[in-house]
Structure 1
């Protein structure tokens, strides 16, 4: 029951924070949207800041878990990179409001920044690990900084999804848009890191 209540609060908090912004959002609004008493939220969280940090931590952990699942035990670095890309795009599309919060509201308090950076670091390290593996095996170009490349890739995926989600010109079904975005990002990243035959 506790888990269901927390999920209900998180779901409502995402909507309220995204609609009102962190500063203007109120615990009363979250409680009303979730259909729970305000005291229930304060039983689990000290206040709005702690709720927001827990919410973002939960979302980032779920995205990381989904990426791990889709990557599986695939040994080939190119396939691992494609699986990672597919998983992150799919998760952010499925949780578009969370994606908006991720890029717009996570740089506030010191506590929020520390939590945000720690969770982002886990995802960046996954990308970096794949890039290093590919470079060591000779299938990816060596990067001046695998870390910087991984950060850029994570940011490009996140911003591209957000741009498409909130674009008034978007057409097609969500599945078609996800497939198109994954294909475009894959071409960009693969062309950027994969060694072509006959080149080093």
Structure 2
């Protein structure tokens, strides 16, 4: 019963924070929405700020788990990089809280929220690490040509930030597609061969869910 009450509070908080942001949601709103008392909230959480960080941590852990599963099953470095990019874009759409914090929207922030560390900071650090690992592997295997750029890793992250900060633009879908093409053509070597890893990825995706971005 205790576990179910805690889960109810977390679910209620995530829904309310997603709709209204951090500032306009009170603890009373969170517990009232699931028929519990304010006292029950403080049995599980020390305050609203720590509760918000807990929700951000849930989003971070779930996001990292999912993207590692997807990337771990792919073989082509290019497909891995594009999958990581798609994961972030889809995550922004699915989690308004994450989108709001990454975009520094005031209603999703509170004084002292740690954007460098904490759940959000850790998520970004993990994504940056995965970008470095994928580009390094692609370069080693002759798929990517990062030497054309001063910092290919930073370039990919800046392109990703461009989509994040333009997410409210009605043409963001076209922008996202253009960025994927830019990443593909900008990093990949000019030689166009039908590579074994890409064929394996194509079969993998065909067996389950077709994904338009997969490179064949």
TM-score by length of 2: 0.70
Structure 2 distance, partners of 1:5, 1:127, is: 39
Structure 2's unaligned 5+ residue stretches are 193-216
Q: Is the 8 A contact 2:67 2:84 kept in 1?
A: yes
Q: Is the 8 A contact 1:67 1:84 kept in 2?
A: yes
Structure 2 distance, partners of 1:152, 1:110, is: 22
- The alpha-carbon distance between structure 1 residues 107 and 118, as it changes in their structure 2 partners (threshold 3 A), is farther
Give the equivalent residue in structure 2 for 1:174.
none
Of the three residues 160, 164, 168, the one matched with 1:163 is 168
Of the three residues 110, 131, 138, the one matched with 1:134 is 138
SS of residue matched to 1:163: coil
Give the equivalent residue in structure 1 for 2:205.
none
- The alpha-carbon distance between structure 1 residues 36 and 154, as it changes in their structure 2 partners (threshold 3 A), is farther
Deviations 1:127-178 (A, max 9, x none): 2211222122232221422442343244234335x325xx4x89xxxxxx6x
Matched, 1:77 2:77: yes
Matched, 1:197 2:191: yes
Give the equivalent residue in structure 2 for 1:23.
23
Structure 1 distance, partners of 2:3, 2:152, is: 38
Structure 2 distance, partners of 1:107, 1:188, is: 36
Per the TM alignment, residue 111 of structure 1 is displaced from its structure 2 partner at its CA by 4.4
Give the equivalent residue in structure 2 for 1:34.
34
Q: Is the 8 A contact 2:23 2:110 kept in 1?
A: no
Q: Is the 8 A contact 1:139 1:194 kept in 2?
A: yes
Q: Is the 8 A contact 2:17 2:25 kept in 1?
A: yes
Structure 1's unaligned 5+ residue stretches are 171-176
Give the equivalent residue in structure 1 for 2:62.
62
TM-score by length of 1: 0.75
Structure 1 distance, partners of 2:175, 2:10, is: 28
Q: Is the 8 A contact 2:21 2:97 kept in 1?
A: no
- The alpha-carbon distance between structure 1 residues 44 and 135, as it changes in their structure 2 partners (threshold 3 A), is same
Structure 2 distance, partners of 1:112, 1:73, is: 30
Segment of structure 1 superposing worse, 26-35 or 182-191: 182-191
Q: Larger helix proportion, structure 1 or 2?
A: 1
- RMSD over equivalenced CA pairs, Å: 3.0
Give the equivalent residue in structure 2 for 1:173.
none
Per the TM alignment, residue 192 of structure 1 is displaced from its structure 2 partner at its CA by 2.7
Structure 2 distance, partners of 1:106, 1:121, is: 20
The count of corresponding residues between Structure 1 and Structure 2 is: 186
Structure 2 distance, partners of 1:98, 1:8, is: 20
Per the TM alignment, residue 28 of structure 1 is displaced from its structure 2 partner at its CA by 0.9
